Amino acid sequence: KARAFAYLTTDPIKPMTLSAERRLQVLQSLDNLGAGFQLASHDLDQRGGGNLLGDEQSGHIREVGVELYQQMLEDAVAELKEKGEGTTVDRGWSPSINVGASVLIPEDYVPDLNVRLSLYRRLSDAEQSEDREALAAELIDRFGPLPDEAQQLLKIVGIKANCRKACIEKIDIGPRGAVLTLRDNSFPNPVGLVGLIQKNQAFWKIRPDQKIVVSGDWPTAEDRLKVAERITADLARVAGA
C-alpha cells in the first residue's frame, strides 16, 4: 500500500558506459503498471540469458536470439536423453551461412523487442518464397521501407531454405570464392551433382574432402548474397530432380 522509491547514483568522475546509458533509457521509458516484464525482456536482450543449466549469469542469447537459443537447448537435452535410451532421432538442423553481410532487424526499424522476436520466429518458419514475400510486404506496410540489414536477412532465410533442400550444412563465401560443406558428406542426387559440376567446370569443382568449391569475384556482401542465392538454388533444383 506504500509507494517505494529507488535512487540510482553514478560516479561523478567516471563516465557511464554505453550499456549503462541504454539501461537508464529503458528504465526512463517504462513507467506503466506491469512494466517489469518488459524491463526483464530488454535486460535479456542486452545481457544475454546465461547458461540455463549452469551458473553463468550472461550468455549467448544476444548473439543467436531467444528462439534459436531455446531450440539449441531443446536439441541438447533431447540428444542427452537419446544417448541414455540408446536411440537417435534427427530433430532438424540449421545451415550455417557466412557471407560477411549484416543480417538483422534493426532496433531503430522495429523498436519493440517482443515484436522483433516474433518477426524472427516467423522468419525462421518462412520456408517458401511466397511466405517471405508476404512477410516483407507486411514489414513495409507496418514499419516503412526495408533497411539493408532486413533485406539481407530475408535473402539469408531463402538461402537457408535452399541449403536444407540440397543438404548443404555450411556455406562460406568470400571475395574470391565459395566453399560448401555437404551434410554427412552426401548429396540427394549424386549423378545430378556431377552433371552440374561438369556443366560449370570452369568455376565449380569438388575436393577430395567432398566439399564443393566455386571460384569467382564477389567483392561486396551484396554480390556474395546474390551468388549464394544462385548457387544454392541450382543445388536445390538438382537435389530435387
In the numeric block, which cell numbers belong to residue 184?
554427412
Q: How far is residue 193's CA from residue 182's CA, in Å, rounded to a whole number?
A: 12
Answer positive or negative: Cα dihedral of 120, 123, 124, 125: positive
Q: What percent of the chain has pLDDT over 90?
A: 42
Q: What percent of the chain has pLDDT over 70?
A: 82
Q: What is the pLDDT of residues 7-29, one digit of tens each?
A: 888 888 988 888 788 888 888 88
Mean predicted confidence (pLDDT) in 72-91: 64
Judged by phi (left if over 0) then psi (alpha if -120 to 50, else beta), residue 96 lies in beta
Q: Tell me, what's the pLDDT at 144?
A: 94
Q: Tell me, what's the pLDDT at 92?
A: 63
Q: What is the pLDDT of residues 90-107, one digit of tens each?
A: 546 789 898 888 888 998
**Local structure of 171: helix, strand or coil:** strand
Confidence band for 47, pLDDT divided at 50, 70 and 90:
low
Q: Which of 54-58, 89-93, 237-241 has the lowest mean pLDDT?
A: 54-58
Query: How many C-beta atoms lie closer than 10 Å to residue 43's C-beta?
Result: 13
Q: Which residue has the cell 514475400?
A: 133
Q: What is the pLDDT of residues 120-134, one digit of tens each?
A: 888 888 888 899 999
Answer positive or negative: Cα dihedral of 60, 64, 66, 70: negative
Q: Which of 57-71, 87-101, 118-132, 163-177 has the lowest mean pLDDT?
A: 57-71
Given a contact cutoff of 8 angstroms between Cβ atoms, the answer to whether 166 and 187 are in contact is yes
Alpha helices in the chain (DSSP H): 18-29, 36-47, 61-64, 66-85, 113-124, 129-143, 148-166, 190-199, 221-239
Cβ neighbours of residue 207 under 8 Å, at least 6 residues apart?
213
Domains of the chain: 18-63 (no CATH), 96-239 (3.90.1150.50)
- Cβ-in-10-Å burial (0-12, 13-18, 19+) of 109 comes to middle
Q: How far is residue 42's CA from residue 175's CA, in Å, rounded to a whole number?
A: 37
Q: Tell me, what's the pLDDT at 138?
A: 93
CA 32 vs CA 35, 36, 38, 39, 222: distances in Å: 6, 9, 10, 11, 43
- Verdict on whether the full-model pTM lies above 0.75: no
